[in-house]
Amino acid sequence: MSARVFSTARRGEDLLVRGAHIVDPLANLDARADVLVRKGVITEIGEKLQTPAGVRVIDADGWLLLPGFVDLHAHLRTPGREDEEDLASGTTAAAAGGYVAVFAMANTQPAIDSASVLEGMARQAAVDARVPVGFFAAVTLGLKGEQLTEMHELAQAGAVGFSDDGLPLPTAQLLRRALQYAKVTDRFVAIHAQDDSLMATGVMNEDAVSAKLGFAGIPAIAESAAIAQALEVARYEEGRLHLCHVSSELSLEHVARAKQLGVRVTAEATPHHLTLTSDKVECLDARVKMNPPLRTEKDRQALVAAVKDGLIDVIATDHAPHAPEEKEVPFEVAPFGTTGLETAFAALYTATVLTGELPLATLVERMSQAPARLAGIPVPTIAKEQVANFCLVDPQAEWTVDPADLHSKTRNTAWAGETLRSRVRATVATGRLVWEARD
């Protein structure tokens, strides 16, 4: 039994992508070549390939061809808040962002806490999902932090892992039981690490910016102390622990030590924590309110370095749509979260690759292959006989993020008004052309 993804069934495509520069660390490719896809499967990679009759040609001269991205952390709001996002809009935003698979978190209404809810979502995905979608299952019923879900049945239904994300697990004992019991499933437990007593009423990072603006601060120790405790539990139980959206330098020190000790831990970081810092909050716009909060430049640099050396395993968006009427309120009363699927690669390419902080191949590995491996789904790679899972990116494109132009149902993007470099021009997921930019 492995993690499953679900989407609308369509025939695989016949395509010839001409002239793109392929960057694929797994295939050890960093070269210009043509790629031929027949019935959704890569059949040839080489220079100046012949165009077989009836095959559509995409002229990708000057573009990048990258293994498609896999998002291990998205809030698709369905079931329950389809006004904010549904599987169709969420996966369209994903396709437009170069993603070939997305995993939705379980904090929906109702929560994905039983196999029947998960199976209902799978059926919905078969109708709605442009890009394959998989699902996390909740750790506890209704995310109440009390009673464990039926993890074995949920895993059999295809859950990728277990998480009450959005909320921390309230006690170390509950994390301990979850890690123990999850062993019957061969799945990981993903946690939103947060000490609620230290978080208190905080709404942004505690730093010089919160001192200036007067906002109640969220100290970095609200995350790092919870991570330190969770790592102790995981070490003791030898359980598979995944740390969602690690954001602070203090936390990284604990993760590094745990990995040295052989703890079975993986960690993710988000595009916003890797590209933005808390001084953005001076705009007082709730679009930049998220939890964990945007941290300092020092934290951001430490996080980028951790992505580079592999201490952070994956980049995941924490895509979190919120209705306009919920975000068009004073910062302190707005909910936490930014959308991210459609801007992730461009934001990271602009802020980390073009600045020399991260090699492109490393970024691709953390956004595509590492999360696929962790999820246990086929790993996107540009090689013969592989199902086509890739995206085409114009690295020269420059665009200013206008929330109205994005495909998510809501407009709460932290990058509103930012000028980004590179744009996804086309996405092929499980052999199907799921996205093509209009211009």
Partner 1 sequence: MAKRDLLSMSDLSRADVELILDTAESFLPVLKRDIKKVPTLRGRTIVNMFFESSTRTSTSFELAAKRLSADTMSIKASGSAVDKGESLKDTILTLSAYSPDIIVMRHPHIGAGRLAARYTTASVINAGDGKYQHPTQALLDVFTLRQTLGKDLAGLNVWIVGDILHSRVARSDIEAFQLLGMQVTVAGPPPLIPRDIEALGVKVAYDLGKLREADVVYLLRMQMERMQAGANYVPSLREYSALYGMTAARLRAGQKVMHPGPINRGVEISAEVADHPDTLILEQVEAGVAVRMAILYRTIVGYDERQPGERGAA
- The smaller minimum CB distance to partner 1, of residues 330 and 356, is found at 330
Pair of tokens at residue 84: 């904010």
Q: What is the phi-psi region of residue 8: left when phi exceeds 0, alpha when psi lies from -120 to 50, beta otherwise?
A: beta
Please say if 402 is a catalytic residue.
Answer: no
- The smaller minimum CB distance to partner 1, of residues 210 and 247, is found at 210
- Contact pattern for partner 1 over residues 242 through 281, marking x by CB under 8 A: ----------------------------------------
The 10 Å CB-count burial string (b at 16+, else e) for 90-102 is bbbbbbbbbbbbb
CB atoms near residue 403 (< 10 Å): 16
Out of 9, 11, 54, 214, which residue is the one contacting partner 1 (CB under 8 A)?
Answer: 214
Q: Are 126 and 8 in contact (CB under 8 A)?
A: yes
- The smaller minimum CB distance to partner 1, of residues 123 and 212, is found at 212
DSSP of 144-170, one letter per residue? -SSSB--HHHHHHTT--EEE-TTS--S
Q: CA-CA distances (angstroms) from residue 324 to 345, 360, 408, 414?
A: 24, 34, 12, 13
Binding segment for partner 1 (CB under 8 A), chosen from 47-55, 132-140, 214-222, 313-321, is 214-222
- Taking the complex as a whole, the smallest distance from the CB of residue 101 to partner 1 amounts, in Å, to 38
- The smaller minimum CB distance to partner 1, of residues 141 and 213, is found at 213
According to the binding rule CB under 8 A, does residue 333 interact with partner 1? Answer: yes
Binding segment for partner 1 (CB under 8 A), chosen from 161-169, 189-197, 327-335, 376-384, is 327-335
Pair of tokens at residue 152: 């074995």
Out of 41, 55, 141, 213, which residue is the one contacting partner 1 (CB under 8 A)?
Answer: 213
Cα–Cα dist 251/260, whole Å: 15
- Taking the complex as a whole, the smallest distance from the CB of residue 339 to partner 1 amounts, in Å, to 20
- Contact pattern for partner 1 over residues 179 through 208, marking x by CB under 8 A: ---------------------------xxx
- Contact pattern for partner 1 over residues 280 through 319, marking x by CB under 8 A: ----x-----------------------------------
According to the binding rule CB under 8 A, does residue 331 interact with partner 1? Answer: yes
Q: 3-state class of 359 per DSSP?
A: coil
Out of 332, 336, 361, 399, which residue is the one contacting partner 1 (CB under 8 A)?
Answer: 332
- The smaller minimum CB distance to partner 1, of residues 150 and 326, is found at 326
Q: CA-CA distances (angstroms) from residue 228 to 24, 238, 244, 258, 275?
A: 34, 15, 14, 9, 25
- Taking the complex as a whole, the smallest distance from the CB of residue 225 to partner 1 amounts, in Å, to 16
Cα–Cα dist 291/278, whole Å: 12
According to the binding rule CB under 8 A, does residue 325 interact with partner 1? Answer: yes
C-alpha closest to that of 319 among 424, 415, 221, 203: 415
- The smaller minimum CB distance to partner 1, of residues 289 and 319, is found at 289
- Tell me which of 285, 318, 402, 439 is the catalytic residue: 318
According to the binding rule CB under 8 A, does residue 404 interact with partner 1? Answer: no
Pair of tokens at residue 25: 């660390």
The 10 Å CB-count burial string (b at 16+, else e) for 344-372 is bbbbbbbbbbeeebbebbbbbbbbbbbbb
For residues 119-158, which are near partner 1 according to CB under 8 A? Answer: none
Q: What is the radius of gyration, based on Cα positions, of the chain?
A: 21
C-alpha closest to that of 180 among 262, 141, 230, 237: 237
- Taking the complex as a whole, the smallest distance from the CB of residue 203 to partner 1 amounts, in Å, to 9
- Taking the complex as a whole, the smallest distance from the CB of residue 369 to partner 1 amounts, in Å, to 39
- Taking the complex as a whole, the smallest distance from the CB of residue 197 to partner 1 amounts, in Å, to 12
Out of 63, 215, 345, 435, which residue is the one contacting partner 1 (CB under 8 A)?
Answer: 215
Q: Are 97 and 431 in contact (CB under 8 A)?
A: no
- Taking the complex as a whole, the smallest distance from the CB of residue 404 to partner 1 amounts, in Å, to 16
Residues acting as catalytic residues? 318
Binding site for partner 1 (CB under 8 A): 206-208, 210-215, 217, 219, 284, 325, 328-333
